[in-house]
Amino acid sequence: MFASSSFSRFDTPPFFSACPAPPSAGERSSNTVVDLLVVGASFAGLACARAAALAGLRVMVLEKKSSAGAKLHTTGIIVKDAVDTVPWLAEVPPALVRRIDGVRLYSPDMRHVDLHAPGYWFWATDAPALLDWMVDSARASGVDVQLGTLFEQALWMNDRWEIPLTHGPCRGTCISARYIVGADGPHSRVAKALGLSRNTRFLYGIEHEYRGARMAPDFLHCFVDRQLAPGYIGWALDGVGVSQIGLARRMDTQAAPALRVDPLLRKIASVVSPGDAPPVAIRAGMIPCGGVLPVVARERALLVGDAAGMVSPVTAGGIHTALQHGERAGEAIARFVRGEVEDPASWFVRSYPRFRLKRALRWAFDHFQSDWMFNRLLGTPQMRRMAELVYFHRKASPLPRG
């Protein structure tokens, strides 16, 4: 959350150096002036940039990868709450998503319960194609998306952020921005450059994509097993054109733990078969799980999405919050630039989710996860209710009386 101390620190800004050294002969040298500079062309950054551009701001996005959909870490499941609350998702081409109606939850001894909630579903997505579509859509709304462009630092000068670009196609350019948003993921460079809080607690996840896998198609299959996935679960789903099978675990040190899909595949062979061919893609990545960070804003700057730790500590889902708060941040910044409201750094970030219950559940899961207990509780009304709350939120059915 916003801490007033970061505002007061801002009175004596730490950066005084000038924009980049003059480029050598043949290099581009120019200044680009924008209202808002967003770092990161993923769910949070693109939602923020598009909302601000639709509200009339000049917006630029910097993305270090050559395409937004390249080298993704995410499974890409989008919950119905996101589809209900983020109007942009209504425009997503149907070919990029597939509806999944229920969850099949397996205990460590491989018994299962099927969970549904009336009117609730998930989207499996072709996440790379979805993000590339989002870039096109943001550009069509007026956002200048610069791919292959690394953010390194921001300098506060003359009441603006100056962002020198020393790599990529814009090398030698200096971006001058009234506002900066860090939507650059779990290891945010913007947070580091601006002296904001940084994520320290993570899950680590790995996922294989297969063509020709076999499983019951209408479920997100979730596997609880303390040995294979301590602190989280394994999962399998028939996605868009591929099947996705993965698992994640708690990270007890800052080094990514050894995590392999093969032991999970052996364990779940009776219900999920990857087919005969090797995986067509492998993804892995860190998921912040400590909740929203203490200092996510300072004057004319804020973090959003994973950069702010905005991931459910229980489900490890972050796309919904990234899209929703990204979009709202863009709208709030547009109102600020138009002079209608105070700097959102002082009020908007207070609306970020606190995940109080989910942080308590994460603590309990970290300390008391027990395969024996899960085997015994699977199928009880209490366990079903708890699982439905985790997966379906408000749409979970009430606990039966008696």
Residues that bind ligand FAD (CB under 6 A): 39-45, 62-65, 73-77, 150-151, 183-185, 189, 205, 207, 283, 285, 287, 305-307, 311, 316-320, 322
Q: Which is nearer to ligand FAD, 148 or 375 (CB)?
A: 148
At its nearest, how many Å lie between ligand FAD and the CB of residue 146? 9
Map residue 322 onto helix, strand or coil: helix
Cα 200 from Cα 286, distance rounded (Å): 11
Phi, psi of 123 (to 5 degrees): -100, 125
CA trace torsion 79, 331, 126, 200 (10° rounding): -70
User: Minimum distance from CB of 75 to ligand FAD (Å)?
Assistant: 3
Residue 76 Cβ vs ligand FAD, minimum distance, rounded to whole Å: 5
Closer of 35 and 207 to ligand FAD (Cβ): 207
Q: How far is the CB of 126 from ligand FAD (least distance, A)?
A: 13
Nearer to ligand FAD, 55 or 190 (CB): 190
Q: Which is nearer to ligand FAD, 6 or 125 (CB)?
A: 125
Q: For residue 200, what are the contacts with CB-CB under 8 A and spacing of at least 6?
A: 254, 290
For the chain, what percentages of helix, strand and coil (3-state, to nearest 5) are there?
30, 25, 45
Place of tokens 């509780």: 377
Identify whether the C-beta of residue 157 lies closer than 8 Å to the C-beta of residue 174: no
Residue 135: partners with Cβ closer than 8 Å, 6 or more residues away:
41, 46, 67, 68, 145, 147
Is residue 157 within a helix (H) or strand (E), and if so which, with residue range?
strand 155-157
Residue 322 Cβ vs ligand FAD, minimum distance, rounded to whole Å:
4
What is the number of alpha carbons within 13 Å of residue 107 lying toward its C-beta?
17
Specify the residue, 40 or 274, whose C-beta has the smaller distance to ligand FAD: 40
Nearer Cβ to ligand FAD (151/156): 151
Placement of tokens 């015994």 in the chain: 376
Structure tokens belonging to residue 364: 């309990």
Under a CB-based contact definition with an 8 Å cutoff, are residues 303 and 191 in contact?
Answer: yes
Residue with tokens 């870039």: 135
**Between 75 and 107, CB nearer to ligand FAD:** 75
Least spacing, CB of residue 332 vs ligand FAD, in Å: 17
Cβ proximity to ligand FAD, 202 vs 374, nearer residue: 202
Q: Write the single-letter amino acid at 103.
A: V
CA distance 310 to 288: 8
| Closest to ligand FAD by CB, 42 or 197 | 42
Nearest Cα neighbor of 219 from 121, 378, 103, 128 is 103
Q: Which is nearer to ligand FAD, 151 or 219 (CB)?
A: 151
Contacts of 206 (CB under 8 A, 6+ apart): 246, 247, 248, 259, 260, 261, 282, 283, 284
Min dist. Cβ of residue 22 to ligand FAD (A): 23
- Match 């769910």 to its residue by tokens: 43
Shortest CB 310 distance to ligand FAD, Å? 7
Distance of closest approach, residue 339 Cβ to ligand FAD, in angstroms: 28
Residue 83 CB, nearest approach to ligand FAD (Å): 12
